[in-house]
Amino acid sequence: MKTWLIQHWQAFTFTLKQLLRTPFTSLLSIVVIGITFSLPVGVYTLLENLQSYSGKMVETPELSVFLKLDVTKTEEEEIRRRLEMQELIKSFQFIPKDYALKQLAQDNEMAMVVDNIGHNPLPDAFIVTTRRARAEELDQLRTNLQEWPGIEYVQFDTDWAKRVDALLNLGRLAVVILTTLLSIALIVVIFNTIRLQILTKREEIEVSKLIGATDSFIQRPFLYFGTIQGLAGGMMAWLIMVLGIQLMNDELAVLAELYATDFHLKHLDFEDSISLLAFSAWLGWLGARLSVASYLWRIEPK
Which residues are 127's β-sheet partners?
Answer: 64, 93
Pick out the chain residues at pLDDT < 70. Answer: 1-5, 7-8, 10-12, 14, 51-61, 104-119, 133, 135, 157-162, 164, 206, 209, 212-213, 215, 256, 258-262, 296-302
Domains of the chain: 2-56+162-298 (no CATH), 62-155 (3.30.70.3040)
Report whether 212 contacts 301 (CB < 8 A): no
**Cα–Cα distance, 108 to 13 (Å, whole number):** 78
Give me the pLDDT at residue 235, please. Answer: 93
Quick: pLDDT tens for 127-157. 888 877 676 777 888 888 888 998 988 887 6
Give me the pLDDT at residue 302, please. Answer: 47
**Cα–Cα distance, 302 to 287 (Å, whole number):** 28
**Cα–Cα distance, 86 to 8 (Å, whole number):** 62
Report whether 80 contacts 125 (CB < 8 A): no
What Rg, from alpha-carbon coordinates, does the chain have? 32
Quick: pLDDT tens for 182-230. 888 888 888 888 887 777 777 777 677 677 667 677 778 888 888 888 8
What is this structure's pTM? Answer: 0.62
Exposed, middle or buried by CB within 10 Å (0-12, 13-18, 19+), for 296? middle
